[in-house]
Amino acid sequence: MSKKKATSSLRARNHDDELIELDKEFQQFKLEEFTVEYPSEDAITRTIDAMRPYVTQAAAPRVKYSFLRQLQVMQIQPLFWLANLLFFCMGLLVWYVWEGDPYKIMLLLSPIPFLLGLLEVFRGRNEGLLELEISCKYSAQQLLLMKLIVICAYNILLCLALIGIFGIFGEPLLLSKLIMYWTAPFAVAVSVGLAVASRVRNVLSVPIALVIWLFIAYGFLIGLEHYEQASELPYIAGLATVFVAACIAKQIQRLKKGFAYYEAVH
């Protein structure tokens, strides 16, 4: 046995002896005869209450950001969905009953769901809740993007439904004319709406955007009536759509950045 092992064995024996001695000492105190009174219910409750703040809480289950969950987070008002369905029906009615031009109907009505949706997108800011929303886990930036995506998707869905109905029950619509009468004006309306809503910080932003849109739509109608036959116009409209879409992406990026901090939007 090495010297080191012998020393450690000796230490262990000494420690055992000490414990035996201690045990004998404790036995002299006759602890087994000592009775502990059971505490009252009140005392137990008080102790539990006093300890409660120190108990580590189990990690709370976190939410999976499913699409339905996101809709719940966004709290888009039912009025928004209904108002836009109404515009959709109005478009059908004008086309079916009054035999309105489907392209002009698309031009005038297609951006309205998005423009009305801006009220929902900026509702937190307009109602003074933005500061709180920014401080939450699901931040105001995420809310802004989610709302924009949902509103745009709903708008495009309604437009495609209209185009589908016009095409199936009437004459098929030409893609080149749709670019001139739908995508280009729609992109311009979205860009104007975003620009107005990010500058006018109250509920008036949407009526203002709608009025501006009506003027722009009138301009489009006049212009298209004059130059509709120009063969290069669909290409110009297509290019304009891409350019305005790029501007919209930039606007959204800037808005997103702004919504990260309260002072940027106040």
Partner 1 sequence: MKLSIERVSKQYGAKRALDNVSFEMTEGVYAFLGANGSGKTTLMRILASVARPSSGRVLLDDVDIELLDEKYRDLLGYLPQHMGYYKNFTVEKFLFYIAALKGIEKGRAKAKIDELLQAVSLQEERRTKVGKLSGGMKQRVGIAQALLNDPKIIIVDEPTAGLDPKERIRFRNLMSTISADRIVLLSTHIVSDIEYIAKELLILKRGMLIQKAEPQHLLDALSGKVWTVTASPNELAAWQASHKVSSMLVRENGTELRILSENKPAPHAEEAIPNLEDLYLHYFDEEAAK
Give the interface segment with partner 1, choosing from 62-70, 193-201, 209-217, 236-244 (CB under 8 A): 62-70
- Decide: 182 and 106 in contact? Cβ < 8 Å: yes
- Decide: 240 and 176 in contact? Cβ < 8 Å: no
Identity of the residue, 70 or 176, whose beta carbon is nearer to partner 1 in the bound complex:
70
Binding mask 71-110 for partner 1 (x = CB under 8 A): -xx-x-x---------------------------------
Q: Which of residues 125-144 bind partner 1 (CB under 8 A)?
A: 127-129, 131-139, 143
**24, 30, 62, 199: which one contacts partner 1 (CB under 8 A)?**
62
- Decide: 139 and 258 in contact? Cβ < 8 Å: no
Structure tokens at 85: 């369905």
Q: Which of residues 2-61 bind partner 1 (CB under 8 A)?
A: 53-54, 57, 60-61
Identity of the residue, 12 or 132, whose beta carbon is nearer to partner 1 in the bound complex:
132
Identity of the residue, 129 or 230, whose beta carbon is nearer to partner 1 in the bound complex:
129
Q: How many residues in the shown chain lie near partner 1 by CB under 8 A?
A: 29
Identity of the residue, 53 or 172, whose beta carbon is nearer to partner 1 in the bound complex:
53
- Decide: 206 and 118 in contact? Cβ < 8 Å: yes
Identity of the residue, 54 or 67, whose beta carbon is nearer to partner 1 in the bound complex:
54
Question: Which residues, 6 or more positions from 179, have their beta carbon under 8 angstroms from its beta carbon?
Answer: 234, 237, 238, 241
**88, 118, 123, 184: which one contacts partner 1 (CB under 8 A)?**
123
Tell me, what DSSP letter sits at residue 266? -
Please, what is the minimum distance in Å from the beta carbon of residue 182 to partner 1?
Answer: 34
What secondary structure does DSSP assign to 91-131, as a single string?
Answer: HHHHHHTS---HHHHHHHHTTHHHHHHHHHHTHHHHTT-HH
Q: Which of residues 222-261 bind partner 1 (CB under 8 A)?
A: 261
Please, what is the minimum distance in Å from the beta carbon of residue 127 to partner 1?
Answer: 4
Token match 């309205």: residue? 112
Within its chain, how far is the Cα of 128 from the centroid? 17
Identity of the residue, 20 or 149, whose beta carbon is nearer to partner 1 in the bound complex:
149
Question: Which residues, 6 or more positions from 39, have their beta carbon under 8 angstroms from its beta carbon?
Answer: 47
d(CA 83, CA 213): 18
Q: Shortest CA distance to 234 belongs to which of 179, 163, 195? A: 179
Identity of the residue, 1 or 68, whose beta carbon is nearer to partner 1 in the bound complex:
68
Please, what is the minimum distance in Å from the beta carbon of residue 154 to partner 1?
Answer: 20
Using rule CB under 8 A, residue 168 touches partner 1: no
To 5 degrees, how large is the angle CA 255–CA 258–CA 263?
145
**Which residues contact partner 1 (rule: CB under 8 A)?**
53-54, 57, 60-63, 69, 72-73, 75, 77, 123, 127-129, 131-139, 143, 261-263
